[in-house]
Amino acid sequence: MFGRDEKVSAIRLTAAQYMILAVFLILAYGLWRLQVMQSDYYSLAAERNRIRNVPVLAPRGKILDREGRTIVDNYPSFSALLLRDSSRDLVADADLIAKGLHLDPNELRVRIRRFAAMPQYRPIFLKDDITPDELAFIEAHRNELPELDTIMAHRRLYPRNGFMAHLIGYVGEVSEDMLNQPQFELYNPGDVVGISGVERQYNAVLMGQNGSRQALVDSHGREVGRLGETPAVPGKPLKLTIDIDMQIAAEEALGDKNGAIVAMDPRTGEILAMVSRPTFDPNDFAVHVSRDEWNKLVTDPDKPLLNKAIQAQLAPGSTFKIIMSVAGWQEGIAQTMHVHCNGSADFYGRNSKCWVYFLHQTHGDVDLAKAIFQSCDVFFYTLADKLGINRIAKYATALGLGQKTGIDLPQEASGLVPSEEWKLRTFHQKWYAGETVFVGIGQGAVTVTPVQLIRAISAISMGGKMVVPHVINPSELPPNYVDAAHLTDVKTVPIDPEGWNYITDAMLKVLQPGGTSPLAAVPGIEIAGKTGSAQVVSLENRAKHKDNADLAQNGWFVGFTPRRNPDVVVCVLFQGGEHGKLAARLATQVIKAYVEKQRRNPQKMVEKPSGKVEVGGLWDTPDPDGRRDKLEGGRFEVDLPRKPLAAAVAAPGIR
C-alpha cells in the first residue's frame, strides 16, 4: 500500500521517454529513407507528376480523286469538358452550363455527382463535336465558368449521304481486337485508325504521326506552362484513281436501287468509280455512333455496310456466257457449233428451258454470235455439256474467277468456280453432269463478285491482258510501299485474237435491235456488253411465289467502250432488277458520262493541252425508217479553245 503522494514509477516514466525516442527515430528513419536514400526516385516522380505528355494529334491525310479534287477532308472539332476544380461549385453552375451547351441540366447534375468520387484530375467530357455557337459560349464565359474547357481534334469530313462511302470507308478508335493483330501492333489505345475501305487499306499512309507536348500541369490537369514540343507529322494525302465525275454518274445511275456499279480502265486496272447500295453515312461514325444506329446498320437485311462491288458473291447469270464463249472458242467447239432452240432442251432426263420459253418464243437456229446477243440458254446448255465442268472451271479460273482479284481494298470476297474436285472436297459428293448444264448459263454453284466479273470481261475485251483492279496508282504512294507492288501486275490469258474479236463483235449487237438490250444503247457511243439475269430461285419455283420481291432476279450488265481497245469497262449489279437490260441502262449512263467527259476535255487523251488536236469520234446517222442505227467513226482535227476548264464538280456534300 502506498499513499496518495507516492510518485509514479520513475523507471516507467523513463521507459516512456525511451519509447518516444524510439518513435522519433523510426520517423526520422522514414524521412531519411525518402529524402536522402530515394530522393532521386521521388524527384523524378514529382517531375513526371508535373509534366504531362499531351499528344499533338496529327491530322490524317486528305483523300483526293485522280485529278486532285478533295473527297475527304478534316475539320477541327471541339469537345467541351469540365475541369473539376474544387474551388467551383459545379452543381450550382450546372444550369448555366447546360443552357449554353444545350444539355439537360438535371442530367448534367447527375453526371457531376456521379463523378464526385472520381479523382480530381480526370475531367468530365460534356459533349463531343460542339457547334460554333456552343464554342462561342465557352469562350465568352472563360471568366464566369473557368472550369469549362475545350479540346480540339481533327475529325474526318466525309461526303454527305453516303457518297462513295464503301470505297472510302471510315475511321474509328482502334479496337482491342485490332491491337492484337500484327499490323496494328505499333498503335496505342485511343488512336484513330481506318476501320474499313481505303481508310483502312492505306491507313499507314493517311495516318501521320502524333507529336507530343510536354506541358506543366497542376493536379487538376490544367496546363500551367509548357516545356517543349515535338511537332506532329501530318498524314500524307492519298490520290485515288477514282474520277469524281464518273463516281457521280455511277452514284446517280444506281440511285436508291440495291446493287453495285464498278467502272474500270481496262488498260491499267484503275477503278474510276465504285458504288454499292444501300449506303451509310460515315460522318455518323466520325463522332460517335450510337448503339441503336450501329445495330440498325448491322442487322439490316440489305447489309448497308457491305461493299457489294467486292463482297457480294452472286450467280453471274448470262454474263457468264462470255466466259463460256471464250472457253468454247479456245477448245475449238463454239465457233462451229449450231443449235436449234425450241425454247427448251432435254439434258440428263431433265427439260431445261431457255428464257424465251417463258415468252412463248424460240430462238430457232442459233450460232455463237446469236447465242451471245440473244443470250440463248439452250446454246450454252449444250456448250457447257460438251465442255464439261473441268474445262469450264479451267477458263473461268484463268480469267480470275473464284479467287480474289487482289484489289487494294480490305475484305474482298473470292467467289466460287465449281469443279469436280471442288464438289468432292466440299460436299464429298460426285459432280453430276446435269449440274454442268446450269453452270453454262451462270447459275448453279458459280458465284462472282462485280469486281471479278469486270476484271474477266475487261481481260477478254483487251485480248487476254488481265490487270489487277486498284483504287490507288502505286506511283502515287510513298516509295517502298510493299503492299502495292502487285497492283500493276499484268497477266496474259491466251485467247485466240479471232475469238475475242468475234465475241466482242457479238457483244456489240447486244445493245442493237435484235439484242437483249437495244433500249440501253446510247446514240453515238459504241458499247459492247452482255446482260445477265441471275435467278435467286428457279423460274418454276418463282411462279409459285408470285410477286415476292425477295425472289426477284438480279440484273447484271458488263459493258465496255469502244469495242476495240476499250478505255472503260463498267459492271452493274442491280439486285432485284429482274432483267439485265435494266442493269444495262444504268451501265450505259455511266459509260455515256465517261465518253462525254472525254469529248469535253480532249486534252485528257493527248499530251498537248492546246492547239490543234486529233480527236477520234463516233456518231450515228439514223436510218430513214428508224429500224437500225448506223454507227460511223473517224478521226479529225479540232482547234482547242484556250479557255480554262470548268471548275471541277465537287462531290455532293463537300463544302
Partner 1 sequence: MSRYVSFRDFDWVLLVFVLLICGLGVMEIHSATEHTKFAGSHIKQVYWVVGGVAAMFLVSLVNYQALLEQVHWFYIASIASLMAVMIFGQKYLGAKRWIKMPGGNHFQPSEWVKLILILAVAKYFADMRTRELSWSDFMKAGAIVAIPMLMVLKQPDLGTALTYLPIAAMGVFLGGMQWKQGMVVALVAAIGVGAVFFVPRVHVLKSYQKQRLTSFVDPELDPQGSGYQVEQSKIAVGSGGLWGGKGSQTHGAFLPVPQTDFIFAAFSEEHGFVGALGVLLLYFIVLMRLTQNAQTAPDRAGTFVVMGVVAVLSFHILVNVGMVVGFMPVTGIPLPLMSYGGSSVLFMFLALGMVMNVRMRRFVN
Residue with smaller CB distance to partner 1, 6 or 346 = 6
The answer to the question of residue 53 lying near partner 1 (CB under 8 A) is no
Inter-residue contact 408 to 475 (CB < 8 Å): no
Strand 465-467 vs strand 364-366: parallel, antiparallel, or unpaired?
A: unpaired
**Planar angle of CA 500, 506, 509, nearest 5 degrees:** 145
Q: How far is the CB of 41 from partner 1 (least distance, A)?
A: 7
For partner 1, the binding residues in 329-358 under the rule CB under 8 A are: none
What grid cell was written down for 474? 502505286
Strand 344-347 vs strand 465-467: parallel, antiparallel, or unpaired?
A: unpaired
The answer to the question of residue 20 lying near partner 1 (CB under 8 A) is yes
The answer to the question of residue 31 lying near partner 1 (CB under 8 A) is yes
Q: How far is the CB of 105 from partner 1 (least distance, A)?
A: 25
Q: How far is the CB of 249 from partner 1 (least distance, A)?
A: 58
What grid cell was written down for 285? 461514325
- The DSSP 8-state label assigned to residue 209 in this structure reads B
What grid cell was written down for 114? 456521379
The answer to the question of residue 143 lying near partner 1 (CB under 8 A) is no
Contact characters 188-227, partner 1, x per CB under 8 A:
-----------------------------xxxx---x---
Cα 383 from Cα 367, distance rounded (Å): 11
State residue 378 phi and psi, 5-degree precision: -60, -40
The answer to the question of residue 7 lying near partner 1 (CB under 8 A) is yes
Q: How far is the CB of 12 from partner 1 (least distance, A)?
A: 5
Helix axes 497-510, 450-461, angle to 10 degrees: 120
The answer to the question of residue 609 lying near partner 1 (CB under 8 A) is no
Residue with smaller CB distance to partner 1, 47 or 421 = 47
Give every CB contact of residue 648 below 8 A, 6+ residues apart in sequence: 67, 69, 244, 245
Inter-residue contact 227 to 51 (CB < 8 Å): yes
The answer to the question of residue 16 lying near partner 1 (CB under 8 A) is yes
Q: How many residues comprise the chain?
A: 655
Q: How far is the CB of 16 from partner 1 (least distance, A)?
A: 7
For partner 1, the binding residues in 492-511 under the rule CB under 8 A are: none
The answer to the question of residue 12 lying near partner 1 (CB under 8 A) is yes
For partner 1, the binding residues in 524-563 under the rule CB under 8 A are: none
The answer to the question of residue 10 lying near partner 1 (CB under 8 A) is yes
From the list 4-12, 391-399, 446-454, 518-526, the region that binds partner 1 by CB under 8 A is: 4-12
- The DSSP 8-state label assigned to residue 638 in this structure reads E
Residue with smaller CB distance to partner 1, 47 or 498 = 47
Say how many C-beta atoms besides its own lie within 10 A of residue 386's C-beta.
15
What grid cell was written down for 332? 475449238
Distances (CA, A) of 51 to 48, 122, 173: 5, 16, 26
Q: How far is the CB of 226 from partner 1 (least distance, A)?
A: 15
The answer to the question of residue 491 lying near partner 1 (CB under 8 A) is no
Cα 627 from Cα 563, distance rounded (Å): 22
Q: Three-state SS for 601?
A: coil
The answer to the question of residue 125 lying near partner 1 (CB under 8 A) is no
E strand or H helix that includes residue 353: strand 350-353
Q: How far is the CB of 24 from partner 1 (least distance, A)?
A: 5
Strand 238-239 vs strand 63-64: parallel, antiparallel, or unpaired?
A: parallel
Residue with smaller CB distance to partner 1, 6 or 144 = 6
Judged by CB under 8 A, the residue of 68, 119, 513, 611 near partner 1 is 119
From the list 28-36, 302-310, 556-564, 640-648, the region that binds partner 1 by CB under 8 A is: 28-36
Inter-residue contact 438 to 444 (CB < 8 Å): yes
Residue with smaller CB distance to partner 1, 73 or 218 = 218
The answer to the question of residue 2 lying near partner 1 (CB under 8 A) is yes
Q: How many residues bind partner 1 (CB under 8 A)?
A: 47
From the list 11-19, 162-170, 376-384, 507-515, the region that binds partner 1 by CB under 8 A is: 11-19
Tally helices (H) and strands (E) across the chain: 23, 23
The answer to the question of residue 359 lying near partner 1 (CB under 8 A) is no
The answer to the question of residue 116 lying near partner 1 (CB under 8 A) is no
The answer to the question of residue 36 lying near partner 1 (CB under 8 A) is yes
Name which of 219, 49, 229, 214 is nearest 123 in CA terms. Answer: 219
- The dihedral built from the CA positions of residue 460, 462, 464 and 466, taken in this order, carries a sign that is negative
For partner 1, the binding residues in 58-97 under the rule CB under 8 A are: 86-87
Give contact residues for partner 1 (rule: CB under 8 A): 1-2, 4-10, 12-13, 15-17, 20-21, 23-24, 26-28, 30-36, 38-39, 41-43, 45-47, 49-50, 86-87, 118-119, 217-220, 224
